[in-house]
Copies of this chain bind each other. A is one copy, B any other.
Amino acid sequence: MRIALLGYGTVGRGVDDIVRTRVPEIEVARILELPDRLTEARMTSNYADIVQDPSIELVVECMGGIEPAHDFICRALKAKKHVVTSNKAVVAAHFAEFAQLAEENGVSFLIEASVGGGIPWIASIHKARRIDEISSFSGIMNGTTNYIIESMRREELDFDVALGRAQELGYAERDPSADIFGIDVANKTIISACVAFDVDCVRNLPVTGIRTLTKNDLRVLASRGLTVKLFGRGVCKDGRYAVSVEPVAIPMASMEAAVPSNFNLVSLEGFTVGPLKFYGQGAGSLPTGNAIVQDVIDVAHGRFEKYDFSRGLIYDPTLLQGDYLIRSSVSVSAKAWAPGFWLVRNLTPPQARELLEKVWQDDESAFMAALPKEV
């Protein structure tokens, strides 16, 4: 099968590497690159050379960003080419449109690499759903913030030092906003909810990151047998669903607490299979390239996923109602939990986020984490 790559950065090179050395039945025939970076015969800066080439059966989009990725994906699907992408931002923004175009044109639209890097997460959701309804999913979907939290906790580093180290190691971008403010996790949570629950998931979910976490927060939590991780979560029940992205306080003895360095751990709960957890590298050239190539091989073997968002699930944040911890130097009208920490009971994630924004008006260093009932 002849395929084309849109983008030749970290991920695109990983795909090219893996295909060339390990998958003889696939050929990377064309590569879309910027006009000043055309270093070999396969490369072109003119998308028409790819989308109008009938010998190209599949397009791998790994350029990132919304436009022109969105436009290129639509044109590929309309040209009846399968599309495989690692671009979580564009999938989260336009999933329903891509899914519909793919179905209308009888081609596959696969997105494994957009969530969890090399972890077979999206394919596992699809597989579980052949038998089970998925009642919930949750987990650590961003390796950069896991690295920062673990460095702060294990080596007692300040946030900025840990972030700087993540940048040195290439785990964090020069502008780390998408990671530390939870935007990356929000995109992955939206995509996971779309696939797990068959819903065109809301985009305006509450999103809180870890920017204000301190090593002292981790110390106080540890003294209560807890730590914190940035979670994406989704729940589905009785025709309703909810999603959230926020720090969650979890028992130190849990598997999520043990996730080291920049790894991810994502969980789903199905009725007959029970809980399943999947762990691996959530980013990186070869792991993400691996996930893309797995999707490409699946397409070559005839795999076709239908996305159907017509179930009409209702967004209902009360499904994720629970208790929250707020750490702030200003007083919060709630129960004191530890010096400087307040326990606020029975908030939905949007209510919690609203409260945090109010607290931030007086104390912009305040930190908040959900405290699930079972803790």
Which residues of A are in contact with B by a Cβ distance under 8 Å? Answer: 14, 18, 22-23, 118-120, 123-124, 127, 130-132, 253-255, 257-259, 265, 267, 270-281, 284, 286-287, 289-291, 293-294, 297, 302
Contacts and interface: CB of A to CB of B under 8 A. Distances in A.
Contact of A259 (B118, B255, B286): B255
Nearest to A23: B131
Among A254, A255, A257, A273, max chain B CB count under 10 A is at: A273
Query: What's the dominant secondary structure at chain A's contact region?
Result: mixed
Given A14-B272, A23-B131, A273-B280, 13 more contacts: A18-B131, A118-B276, A119-B276, A120-B127, A127-B294, A131-B290, A131-B294, A255-B265, A257-B258, A271-B286, A273-B286, A274-B281, A275-B280
A121 to B, nearest CB: 11
B287 A22 contact: no
Contacts of A287: 272-274
Contact of A132 (B255, B273, B290, B297): B290
How many of these chains are in the complex? 2
B294 A272 contact: no
A19 to B, nearest CB: 9
A269 to B, nearest CB: 10
A304 to B, nearest CB: 10
A272 B22 contact: yes
A131 B280 contact: no
A278 to B, nearest CB: 6
Nearest to A289: B272
Nearest to A285: B272
